Structure 1
Amino acid sequence: MDKINLLVIVTVISLFISLFLAFFLLTVKTKHKTSNVLFAIFLLINATDLSHPLFNLYTDGPSNLGMFRTTFAFLQIPVFYLYVLSVCYADFRFKPKYLLHLLPFFIVNAILLPRFYAVDAAAKIDFIVNRQSMVEVQFNHLLILIQIVIYLAAIFMLLRKAKKLYLENNAGDSINSYHWLFQFTSVLTILYLTAILKNAFKFSDYPYISEWIKIGISVFSLFMICWYLYKALNHPDLFRSIDSKLKLVSDLILEEKNNQQLAIAEEEYNEELLKLKQYMAEEKPFLNPALTIQEVSKHIRVPVRDLSLLINHKLEQHFYDFVNAYRIETAMDILRDGTKGKLTILEILYDVGFNSKSSFNTAFKKHTGKTPTVYRKGL
């Protein structure tokens, strides 16, 4: 089987799965509709990009439609950025300013208009044959490289901030969604860098290497998308976003310093700390797997801002770790209780407010230095 036939087969499979998954995301009933629509659009744009081998089978030469199809690559990463934004923040809504993300796509097509879109077939062929010396092609490759670097940097910074906000305000397992998004973005980074390498070989003396890399990209992107959707669709409850209006504790502290104020007077701080600890011990709100700092604030009647500074700054703990400490202490009490020896580790972790074994094991080992199983055996 030659590489052309192999590329066509891989492309057909990739297109079928991408289109099927996009259809599923657009039709499935879920509270994460906006995120699903954005990821479906990302899949469709990716499918358009992957369709190049099939498109070539039905065209005799360069065409306006064919060139327009290639420029869809400038929409891929902006759409993915908006998808990440929608997953991270619960109050995400489409805004007119997001249309600015279409700017590179329109710029590229405007640049191609005079010497490609608006000329006859012979001139189009000449443009493709001499593409290495065409300033439009060079500009487009430079622009997409800049776009990839800027957007990937923006996505990683967004995930870093969102994860920190989550840790400071929530105590559920949605933290895994940020881990998965980080992993997926890392893999996507490798994919884009490989695509840049493919383009470099395409304009070199070794264009055949570009074809083999293209096959690898098709297979790799197929497995990558299936892996991510498998993760996300099997754990839809984990994608519990946060409010984009929330501020990092570091920003709150800076505001207090700029205003030359203390967030909480020492006496008031001690009173609120006592109130917080009493509430945690008596009401045991940590048994709720999706506890948020807003819920605690409401019950003990301490403003969210003050409570966030109290836990994240004064106690030097993320709210996530603060709550998990109570969960682990409760789990340790259960493990030490001889009358509850028949309870499995899985039953215990659900009883104390966790809803995933990996999160429980990680938190337990962080708190005690041992896994739950080892701790039980050592009693």
Structure 2
Amino acid sequence: MKTLKISKEIEFLLGSFGAVQSAFLGIYLFLGKKHNTTNTLLSVFFFLITVRVVKSLLWAYLDMLPVWFINIGFIAHFATGPTLLLYFLYVFKPKKWHIQNYLHFVPSLLLLPFLFRINGGNFWHIGGYSFLLYHQLIYTTLTFGILLLFLIKTNKHTSTIEKEKKYWLFILFIGAASIQLAYFSNYVLGLSPYLLGPIIYAVFIYIIAFYAFLNQRIFEEKETSSKYQNINITTQEFEHYQNKIIQVIEVDKPYLNTDYTLDKLSKQISLPTYLTSHIINKGFNTNFSDFINLYRINKAASMLTSSSYNHIKISQIAYDCGFNTLSSFNSSFKKIKGTTPSQFKKIKLMDL
């Protein structure tokens, strides 16, 4: 078995730090106030990875480990891929939990009754572990496909929280895929040390945790509204009106009017209000108010950094961009740009 070219103490310490942080994230999500399907799946995923990493560390450095404990580690490993895939699916398209989802965990469930009976000689080293690793490789590939769909879906019209989720999913996938590929590379290909996966994961889990605590809105699950369930509109019609909304907003710039409403936009594109709302919610992953404010803030940001508007006060720019009050402008600006208008202007001018 290949080992990393660092001392055993450092190797064990790094892996242990990763396991502890992974367990902490699992506990945080499980006990947190934001209870929903995605957070539950993510919490379970972190717990499963923790069990797998702990098993690897103890197996590498202890002479004897109970067979049942080794099997627990492998069974947890079997469940990590399906859990992460389901998490990505539910982030991409929130919906109710279906009992069919448990089919993803059939390998783990089938092995549980044999917890004290199977071992390396009669199962894992005669194809069982190879099957586990190929099983995880398939789920990692499927999860990557979901990630690509999410990345393609996000664009310049996407809300800030959706962009935060995009970066979050990317970081999470890289961290999760690194440990899966490292185990595969070690056992199937014989190219990497056994504990490379836990060590790499230990690095990524702190990046994951840091990003998560800076952007806690990513743990909020978007609710699906029942009022949209009976809407019948073809994909072609949906895309047509979505493009029409963009054209009206970007060409006519009606968002500069303080009294611009969803009803007025609906009349401009000749659609009922509820359909316009549905297209904005589903097509741009945001509501009408945030959708309009995104354009207003982007316009304000360009004015703040333009020499043509140096003589104009920030409050006047706020009103010119469609805001009724300076306070609503400031809060919207900070929500979208992550800083205040005055700080934004100062930073951009320093960069020139």
- SS of alignment partner, residue 153 of structure 1: helix
Counterpart residue identity of residue 176, structure 1: E
- SS of alignment partner, residue 355 of structure 1: helix
In the other structure, the counterpart of 2:76 is: 72
Counterpart residue identity of residue 254, structure 1: Q
In the other structure, the counterpart of 1:153 is: 145
Asked whether the equivalents of residues 174 and 240 of structure 1 are also in contact (C-alpha less than 8 Å), the reply is no
* Structure 1 residues 27-56: Cα deviation after superposition (integer angstroms, max 9, x where no partner): 233x35543332221111111101123256
The offset of 1:325, in angstroms, is 3.7
* Structure 1 residues 168-200: Cα deviation after superposition (integer angstroms, max 9, x where no partner): 6x6444422212212332343344222211223
In the other structure, the counterpart of 2:97 is: 94
Identity of aligned residues (%): 12
Asked whether the equivalents of residues 29 and 39 of structure 2 are also in contact (C-alpha less than 8 Å), the reply is yes
The offset of 1:278, in angstroms, is 8.3
Change (3 A) 1:26 1:298: farther
In the other structure, the counterpart of 2:256 is: 281
- SS of alignment partner, residue 193 of structure 2: helix
| Structure 1 stretch displaced more, 51-60 or 146-155 | 51-60
- SS of alignment partner, residue 338 of structure 1: coil
Partner Cα separation in structure 2 for residue 4 and residue 26 of structure 1: 33
Q: Which has the larger radius of gyration?
A: 1
Asked whether the equivalents of residues 328 and 352 of structure 1 are also in contact (C-alpha less than 8 Å), the reply is no
- The answer as to 2:173 corresponding to 1:189 is no
RMSD: 5.0
- Could you tell me which of 160, 171, 186 is aligned with 1:198? 186
In the other structure, the counterpart of 1:36 is: 39
Q: How high is the TM-score relative to the length of structure 2?
A: 0.66
Change (3 A) 1:42 1:141: closer
Partner Cα separation in structure 1 for residue 176 and residue 282 of structure 2: 33
Partner Cα separation in structure 1 for residue 179 and residue 73 of structure 2: 19
Asked whether the equivalents of residues 23 and 50 of structure 2 are also in contact (C-alpha less than 8 Å), the reply is yes
- The answer as to 2:35 corresponding to 1:47 is no
Q: How high is the TM-score relative to the length of structure 1?
A: 0.62
Change (3 A) 1:189 1:310: closer
Partner Cα separation in structure 1 for residue 304 and residue 176 of structure 2: 43
Change (3 A) 1:94 1:310: closer
Asked whether the equivalents of residues 176 and 238 of structure 1 are also in contact (C-alpha less than 8 Å), the reply is yes
| Structure 1 stretch displaced more, 303-312 or 31-40 | 303-312
- Could you tell me which of 77, 80, 85 is aligned with 1:81? 85
The offset of 1:73, in angstroms, is 0.8
* Structure 1 residues 304-360: Cα deviation after superposition (integer angstroms, max 9, x where no partner): 5457779999xxxxx9887544333334455615252799xxx99836645254799
Alignment of structure 1 residues 130-145 onto 2, 5 Å: 131=125, 134-145=126-137
Partner Cα separation in structure 2 for residue 21 and residue 310 of structure 1: 33
Partner Cα separation in structure 2 for residue 47 and residue 39 of structure 1: 12
Partner Cα separation in structure 2 for residue 16 and residue 351 of structure 1: 37
- The answer as to 2:262 corresponding to 1:296 is yes
Partner Cα separation in structure 2 for residue 327 and residue 280 of structure 1: 10
Asked whether the equivalents of residues 172 and 320 of structure 1 are also in contact (C-alpha less than 8 Å), the reply is no
Q: Structure 2: which 5+ runs fail to align?
A: 284-288, 317-326
Partner Cα separation in structure 2 for residue 179 and residue 40 of structure 1: 19
Change (3 A) 1:44 1:125: closer
Residues paired across the two proteins, number: 316
Change (3 A) 1:200 1:298: farther
Change (3 A) 1:62 1:200: farther
- SS of alignment partner, residue 210 of structure 1: coil
* Structure 1 residues 213-260: Cα deviation after superposition (integer angstroms, max 9, x where no partner): x1x32232122122122212222235555456889xxx8443679xxx
The offset of 1:161, in angstroms, is 6.1
Alignment of structure 1 residues 172-251 onto 2, 5 Å: 172-200=160-188, 204=190, 210-211=193-194, 214=195, 216-237=196-217, 241-242=221-222
Partner Cα separation in structure 2 for residue 74 and residue 5 of structure 1: 28
Asked whether the equivalents of residues 45 and 75 of structure 1 are also in contact (C-alpha less than 8 Å), the reply is yes
In the other structure, the counterpart of 1:355 is: 335
Asked whether the equivalents of residues 22 and 41 of structure 1 are also in contact (C-alpha less than 8 Å), the reply is yes
Partner Cα separation in structure 1 for residue 235 and residue 340 of structure 2: 31
Q: Structure 1: which 5+ runs fail to align?
A: 286-294, 314-318, 365-370
Partner Cα separation in structure 1 for residue 234 and residue 348 of structure 2: 37
